[in-house]
Amino acid sequence: MRHRASKRHKHLQLNQAQLTRAKTVCGAKTETETIERALAFVVEEHSLDQSLKRAKGRMRLRPLFC
């Protein structure tokens, strides 16, 4: 379920060292891009987790790179 993307200005107090490390790890160009990628990751992980919970062991995962 996707919502219409709207941008809102937010004021956040974040750990700068953590933000800088996350920016490096994900290869983002800006701090905003870093936060947007992190949020997208959390939402996608939740969606995947919900799908796996619904499957309740009815599927098998197999390694792709072995």
Alpha-carbon torsion, ordered 10, 11, 14, 20, to 10 deg: 70
| Integer Cα distance of 60 and 9 in angstroms | 43
Query: pLDDT tens for residues 3-55?
Result: 677 889 999 999 999 999 999 999 999 999 999 999 999 988 888 888 878 88
Strand ranges (E), 1-66? none
Reported pTM:
0.70
Helix, strand and coil content of the chain, in percent to the nearest 5, comes to 55, 0, 45
